[in-house]
Amino acid sequence: MKASDLAELALRNLREAILRSSLTTLGVAVGVASLVAWLSLGIGLQSLATKRLSNSGLFDTVVVTQRRSLPSSRRQPAETSPAKDARPLDDDAKKDFEKLPNVVEVYSQIRFPTEVRFNGNPYSTIVAGIPASSQGNGSFDGMQGNFFSSPDADEAILQIEFARDLSSQPNSLIGKDVMLRYAERQALPPSTEGGAKGSDSTDDNAGGFSIVPREKTLHIVGIIETEPAAGFGGFGSGRLLIPQNVASTLRAAQVNDLRDAVRATSKKPVYASLTVRAKTPSMVEGIETAIKNMGFGTFSLLDATKNLRVFFTIFDMLLFIFGSLALAVATLGIINTLVMAILERRREIGILKALGAADRDVKQLFFVEAGVMGLLGGILGVGFGWLVGRAVTIGTNIYLKRQSLPSADVFSVPWWLVLSAIGIAVLVSLVAGLYPASRAARLNPVEALRYE
Amino acid sequence: MTTGNGFAVRADRVSRHYEMGTALIRAVDGVTLEIRAGEFVALLGSSGSGKSTLLNLMAGLDRPSGGAIFANGRNLSELSSLELARYRSRTVGMVFQSFNLLPRMTLEENVELPLRLAEVDRAERGARVQESLQRVRLEKRLGHRPSEMSGGEQQRAALARALVNRPTILFADEPTGNLDSATGETIMLLLKEIQQNLGMTIIMVTHERPLAERFADRIVALADGKLLSDGVKS
């Protein structure tokens, strides 16, 4: 029989037994919905965790330090010192890192204590430089106001707790100015014995530095609820955030400047550490290896991301098994429906065979009926699963809102899951139809015609 | 189409035995029969004589336990399941006592069904259905379902369905068994007309001797699965 005739007859048969076909299809739909809902939850949670961790800057960054020699005995100080033949972590090295594939940005951590004056009152706080790449990593999602208008803008974003210190109505601070009072390093002429260095190399302090008080007016453009981060020791404790370039030009004295000043190994200025940000966490490994090969010490949370992936793979597998249980029950429903259809249509099968239907035709007819139920059930099931996901997300977000927590999308239904779920539904239905279809095909036409 | 030597169907010592518990039922037992192309043969016998079983064997609905049946130039018992289905589809037309129309389908769809199974082009089907229904004078009932038709009309519809693939042999199993005598006669006249106009071989099972004597060219009588007599009418 031609495929079009087969499909036409199968659809007609399903229409004629509309109630039973619908209930069976609904059974498949419930099974697929269960599968989709569970897997969407797993994928959603994985995506949420990955996004949150990625936003933390812990998983897509490599911290680079000068290679250091380890202490050889207990009597030596616990802190390590740079290896004698180590390549200096200077601007040349920074440029080399920037040229590596999949590197988004390379920057040094700039964080310094300062005094902020607002409405004539002084407030002590920590200022942190924010690299431009932070805007796109989700750290600033949901902030009040805007991100910096440019990497060199004299603008500030306040952390909410600090903003509350300045005003009882934090949002009203947006658009106002604050005065920053800080300690600027000024380079001294190099001594004959060698140079000192600072943690930020934008100024030349190879010969040591002096401290000069400075002031800077900044325009408040935004307020952020959470603490954005950018790698280990990132901006976490920064309560007033300014563009990295601006922070760099301030040449503000930082907490570890004194320690670094006495550790001079090069006449050129060097960094205490540099943070290299990769496009995605999966690219960290390659970048880390390349930097190590250049002769630097590196640190990343690569193993932690691998463990996270293993955890979610197992988690998704368990959710798949839970979801599949309902689909297994639906499979029995299909078998039951088709076996009942054989009993009911025994005489019809006999007539078809008497009129020239081959065993293959009868088998295919039942197969197509099973496949159509699977296809419709799969499509419906994906829809139901999506609705369940939306309902759970809405419920979760209402709860999170009541707990004063930011909203989260705990469900994710990617296209591959939609297509796979429909494919699985059709496949399972066809497998379920195997036995009934074979049984129908094997019917003896003479016996089938006698059946009343 | 013939088996050679002008025969449409030839049964050679054909048997069909069933096991029922420990008993062996010899429904057809060593029957040899040659039916010429264009003949109208009545298989006559009482209930349980084996006439329907013999008809099913010759129609390719069942396989013999022994002996051979030749049709279309081939031994039916040697055909594969698929080849036997093709034989039923393209060489044979079947009419049953209980009409066996599919109740969910309209008359047009019922008659079209064998064309679907024989994979006839969709464009050709309409004309073939019309031709068949005109032959049984039901062309105006296309959209009716079997439940909306009388017994006679249903049997005519079944006849149209049997003819639509233009078979060379028509098998009719008690075609008047469910009809009153007047309607039965109409059906028999129609069968005779088809035999004469199309030159078709008709093999009919009946237990009504008068009907067989009136319409068939030849009467083959069976009893207890064996051939009792084989007489050509003068």
pLDDT 10s digits, A141-167: 778 888 888 888 999 999 888 898 888
Hey, is the C-beta of A446 within 8 angstroms of any chain B C-beta? yes
| Identity of the residue numbered A130 | I
Q: Which whole number is the average pLDDT over B55-75?
A: 91
Question: Which CATH number does the domain housing residue A290 bear?
Answer: 3.30.70.100
Query: What is the average pLDDT value for chain B, to the nearest integer?
Result: 90
pLDDT at A303 (0 to 100)? 65
- Residues of chain B with pLDDT > 90, as a percent, come to 66
A28: its two tokens: 């498949």
Looking at the predicted structure, is the pLDDT value of residue A194 above 70?
Answer: no
Q: Which of B81, B105, B117 sits opposite A359 (nearest CB)?
A: B81
Q: Which of B82, B114, B116 sits opposite A358 (nearest CB)?
A: B82
Task: Give me the domain span that covers residue A356.
Answer: 3-54+308-450
Say if CB A245 and CB A107 are below 8 A apart.
no
* Boundary of a domain, candidates A270, A290, A316: A270
CA dist B225 and B55 (Å) reads: 12
One domain, residues A141 and A228: yes
Hey, is the C-beta of A75 within 8 angstroms of any chain B C-beta? no
One domain, residues A359 and A438: yes
CA dist A43 and A50 (Å) reads: 10
One domain, residues A188 and A297: no
Q: Which whole number is the average pLDDT over B39-48?
A: 92
What tens digit of pLDDT does each residue of A216-258 get? 899 999 998 766 554 454 545 678 899 988 888 888 877 666 6
Residue in chain B lying closest to A13 (CA):
B104
CA dist A373 and A17 (Å) reads: 12
Q: Which whole number is the average pLDDT over B57-82?
A: 91
One domain, residues A134 and A261: yes
Looking at the predicted structure, is the pLDDT value of residue A116 above 80?
Answer: yes
What tens digit of pLDDT does each residue of A21-65 get? 888 888 888 888 888 888 888 888 877 877 776 666 667 788 888
The residues in A 7-36 lying below 8 A from B, measured between CB atoms, are: 9, 12, 16
One domain, residues A249 and A145: yes
A396: its two tokens: 């979760």
Angle of CA points A87, A90, A94, to nearest 5°: 100
One domain, residues A266 and A131: yes
pLDDT at A203 (0 to 100)? 46
Looking at the predicted structure, is the pLDDT value of residue A184 above 60?
Answer: yes
Helix (H, G, I), strand (E, B) or coil at B41: strand
Say if CB A205 and CB A198 are below 8 A apart.
yes
Q: What is the pTM of this model?
A: 0.65
Pairing of strands B218-223, B40-44: parallel
Is A102 part of any domain? yes
| Identity of the residue numbered A83 | A
Which strands make up the sheet holding B92-95, listed edge to edge? B92-95, B169-173, B201-206, B40-44, B218-223, B226-232
What are the start-end ranges of the E strands in A45-91?
Answer: 61-66, 68-69, 81-82
ipTM: 0.92
Q: Which residues pair with A210 in a beta bridge?
A: A186
- Residues of chain B with pLDDT > 70, as a percent, come to 97
Is A398 part of any domain? yes
One domain, residues A266 and A297: no
Say if CB A248 and CB A80 are below 8 A apart.
no
Is A89 part of any domain? yes
Helix (H, G, I), strand (E, B) or coil at A383: helix
Is A243 part of any domain? yes
Cross-chain Cβ contact A16/B96 below 8 Å: no
B97: its two tokens: 């006592």
What are the start-end ranges of the E strands in B21-159?
Answer: 23-36, 40-44, 66-71, 74-75, 92-95
Is A74 part of any domain? no
pLDDT at B4 (0 to 100)? 53
Q: What are phi and psi of A266, to 5 degrees?
A: -135, 150
Is A76 part of any domain? no
pLDDT at B169 (0 to 100)? 94
Residue in chain A lying closest to B83 (CA):
A358
| Identity of the residue numbered B88 | R
One domain, residues A294 and A322: no
Structurally, chain A folds into a number of domains equal to 3
Å between A355 CA and nearest CA of chain B: 6
Euclidean distance between the first and the last CA atom of chain A, given in angstroms as a whole number: 26
One domain, residues A254 and A367: no
**CB proximity list for A298: less than 8 A, separation 6 or greater:** A62, A63, A64, A65, A288, A291, A292
Looking at the predicted structure, is the pLDDT value of residue A174 above 80?
Answer: yes
Q: Which of B82, B90, B102 sits opposite A351 (nearest CB)?
A: B102
Which strands make up the sheet holding B7-20, listed edge to edge? B23-36, B7-20, B66-71, B74-75
One domain, residues A264 and A282: no
Q: Which whole number is the average pLDDT over B44-55?
A: 91
Q: Which whole number is the average pLDDT over A122-135?
A: 84
| A40-44, A98-102, A189-193, B78-82: range with lowest mean pLDDT | A189-193
Pairing of strands B40-44, B66-71: unpaired
One domain, residues A335 and A436: yes
Q: Which whole number is the average pLDDT over A415-428?
A: 89
Chain B residues closer than 8 Å to A358 by CB: 81-82, 85-86
Is A169 part of any domain? yes
Say if CB A165 and CB A239 are below 8 A apart.
no
Q: Taking the alpha carbons of B83, B85, B86, B87 in that order, is the dihedral positive or negative?
A: positive
Looking at the predicted structure, is the pLDDT value of residue A67 above 50?
Answer: yes
Query: What is the average pLDDT value for chain A, to the nearest integer?
Result: 80
Which of the four pLDDT bands, split at 50, 70 and 90, describes residue A401?
confident
One domain, residues A281 and A343: no
Which of the four pLDDT bands, split at 50, 70 and 90, describes residue A307?
confident
Is A64 part of any domain? yes
